[in-house]
Structure 1
Amino acid sequence: MLEVSRKQVLAYRIARHGLHRTEQDPVASPQFDLGLQDSMRDTAVLALAARSAGEVTPTTLVDDPRVVLVWSHRGAPHFHRRDDLRELTTSLIPLDDADALARMLWQKKEIGATGVPASEVLFTAAKAIRKVVKEPMSKGAVSAAVTRELPEAYSRWCRPCNATHIQEQLMRLATLHGGVRLEADQSPATLAPLEGRARLRTTPDAAAVSRVVRGYLTVNGPATQGDAAGFVGTAKTALTPAWPEDLTEVSVDGRKTFLPTAEVSALENPPAPSIVRLLPPLDPFTQARDKTVLVPDKARAKEVWKILGSPGALLVDGELMGVWRTRGSGKRLAFTMTAFDPLRATDRAAAEEEAERAAKARGYADLSVTWA
């Protein structure tokens, strides 16, 4: 078994995440192989700014016809390459009913209570969404119309909305199967039919799921089957039929993990992570499931991953060395940086340069930086 240190793993991941900025074309970023999550304001564009050598602006993703925003992994909104959509949709077909139910995450109990196999529930909802969404519609309008098409058991009373509507996670998981995308940069959320949408497919493809798992292990490895399942949004056991072959066992400070064998050389000899980056909340790097590898110190981990209102993370020479927040006022974006330990003057200066890049990516003409 190959044995490596935690620092070696972080150096490898930083390179695989494209954080050395070797790609000029934003869409060429390796992160697009899995999709770029956009669950919070400007998360995706800031994550891209941390990775792309080219200029990143508020419209970089919105105006690029090569990418599309959809609900995909775990039902979370991600930007994906349009050319990857067919393969992506296939990979999101549950392998069996147990997998389908596990993917319902926090709403497993409600979907299980329908008494209908979870796969059938999913694809019934997908057919209803496909029938309803013929033009851009608000999420609320789609939800109301789809609810009328479905059995009562597929819906719930929502106190905030003061209405009965389709289960939220069910809707998110079914939408792409229904040939529907999200309109980028729209609030409230707006759904629209995919251009040239393909027919509904329901046949599981373990090879397609396996490629997603391999992609996760490539970018966020070495990692465990449970880590990969967390990214997919299913149970660990559900991934067993799709667990990739040709993996190498790797001991990371005594923890048994796996990495695609083709990546072993890159893990053994990663480039020095001598960079400073501002990673936004929910950045793909900090979204890795093994958070104790990223930040072993529990007190610091609590600062990086807050239950409510998570800040961005300050990456310095391969370690998450602090957090940052912003507040916009007019044309100015104010950054507050908090370092866990005193930083070198050169690192602080580099962080402030990154703040300028992040401000530009969000469309602000001016900024200020305060070190707390």
Structure 2
Amino acid sequence: MIERQQVRRYRFHTQQLDREHGTVADTAVLDLGVQDTGPDGALWALELRGVDTAGLGAAAEHHADLVWLWTLRGAPHCYRRSDAAAVAAAVAPWSEADASKRIFDASKPLKDAGIPVLDALDAVAGQMRAIVKEPMVKGEMSTRLHEAMPEPYQRYCRSCDAVHLYEMPFRLSAVRAGLELVPDTSPPVLQPMPGFAVAGEYPDRLDPVRAYLRLLGPATHKQVAEYVDAPVREVKARWPEDAVEVEVEGETRWMLEADVDALQGAEAAGTRLLGPYDLFLQARDRSTLVSDPAKAKALWPVLGRPGAVIVDGDIAGLWRPRKSGKRFTVAVDPWRDLEGPERKAVEVEAEKLAAFRGMALSGVDWAG
């Protein structure tokens, strides 16, 4: 029987949140992809894991080691550039049913028109590849695709008051077309990856099911399916043969056999200010992280997520950045009484965040 606290400690350690120094090459979360949402996205997540990110987001010539792609759930994720071709293969839909689920309501008009979804994704990717020969803003590419693709691929967008491609086929086709996202661009800019071709196979470490079990296990089939955005039966069909059952407070879950000892003996030490979309917070078993429904609602609101203060593997409060002119503060809402050394550790992390943002910290505002 494994307690939830032990699961949290295991994830804290296996996601390398307890290390001070690391490299792109040895950072485990890059196998599953580091979601890049908000100003404290992928690079801050790497910084928290000991990677010196100075310069990595400043200009295109500094991106030799990292690449940004639209992948799982259509979200932008950061990966090792050397893995790009294999990642494209690893995150591709496994079947027609899987592809239909991943593109949501865009699948119905395609099916009504007799167009297989996998063929549709390839068709969109082919057009993207033909259109984007140099960096291009998403809106321009969308206009060009609207002119090139037939009606079943398109919808009326109320917010834009225009007809354009459904969003998920657009996003999921980009990596098939060999297009990367230029980081820190809004609206998004895409550019071709020279000499890119989707790999014919990929290493086990990039398999989304195995990577989830390794980094966010123990987990159920449903939890993995929700993360990948795939049908549960498709995940079950690709369940690793070396996954073994463990009991987490009465619930049967699975993890890779090689990681069981690490789970049982896991310890966590350290304080971090997790970004709102850090992988630690992306687990689909939120009650394992936060058992109080009111606190869970505060950590994962529909809009405007805060970051999480994590101390020794346990979430100890919320934080939000506050910027006013040249002043940069971090507002912290503790969920329990933090001792003097714990508060000092939070302040040290706030200093790191300010430095990461290229600013001086004006202070930490403690709620209560």
Q: TM-score category by the smaller chain?
A: over 0.9
| Match of residue 248 from structure 1 | 244
Match of 2:134, SS state, is coil
Alignment of 1:1-372 (within 5 A): 3-52=1-50, 54-57=51-54, 59=56, 63-105=62-104, 107-109=106-108, 111-198=110-197, 211-271=207-267, 273-372=268-367
Q: Which moved more, 1:104-113 or 1:315-324?
A: 104-113
Q: Percent identity at matched positions? A: 37
DSSP 3-state at the match of 1:328: strand
Secondary structure of 1:195's counterpart equals: coil
CA 1:248/1:344 → structure 2, altered by over 3 Å: closer, same or farther? same
Contact 1:45 1:61 in 2 (8 A): no
Deviates more, 1:231-240 or 1:284-293: 231-240
- Does the C-alpha gap of structure 1 residues 152 and 261 become closer, same or farther in structure 2, counting only changes over 3 Å? same
| Aligned 8 A contact 1:105 1:233 in 2 | no
User: Aligned pairs, how many?
Assistant: 365
Cα distance in 1, alignment partners of residues 171 and 122 from structure 2: 12
State the shift of 1:106 in Å: 5.8
- Give the conservation status (yes or no) of the 8 Å contact 1:325–1:336: yes
**Other structure's SS at 2:144 match:** helix
Counterpart Cα distance in 2 of 1:34 and 1:352: 30
SS across alignment from 1:296? coil
* Structure 1 residue 103: Cα displacement: 1.1
Q: Quick one: distance in 2 between partners of 1:277 and 1:43?
A: 14
Contact 1:207/1:242 (CA < 8 Å) preserved in 2?
no
My pick for the range that moved more, 158-167 or 75-84, is 158-167
Preserved contact between residue 153 and residue 166 of structure 2 (Cα < 8 Å): yes
Paired with 1:56 and 1:214, the residues of 2 have a C-alpha distance of 27
Deviations 1:204-256 (A, max 9, x none): x7987982210110000000111111221211112232111111101100111
TM-superposition CA deviations, 1:245-270 (whole Å, max 9, x none): 11110110011111000111111111
What 5-or-longer segments of structure 1 have no aligned partner?
A: none
Kept in 2: contact 1:125–1:174 (CA 8 A)? yes
Distance 1:168 1:337 in 2: 36
How far did 1:81 drift? 0.6
SS of equivalent residue, structure 1 residue 65: coil
Kindly report structure 1 stretches of 4+ aligned residues shifted beyond 6 Å. 205-210
Give the root-mean-square deviation of aligned CA atoms: 2.1
Secondary structure of residue in 2 paired with 1:134: coil
- Structure 2 regions of 5+ residues with no counterpart? none
Counterpart code for 2:158: R
Cα separation, 2, equivalents of 1:121 and 1:358: 43
Q: Report the CA distance shift for 1:209/1:80 in structure 2 as closer, same or farther (over 3 A).
A: closer
Q: By how many angstroms is 1:332 displaced?
A: 2.8
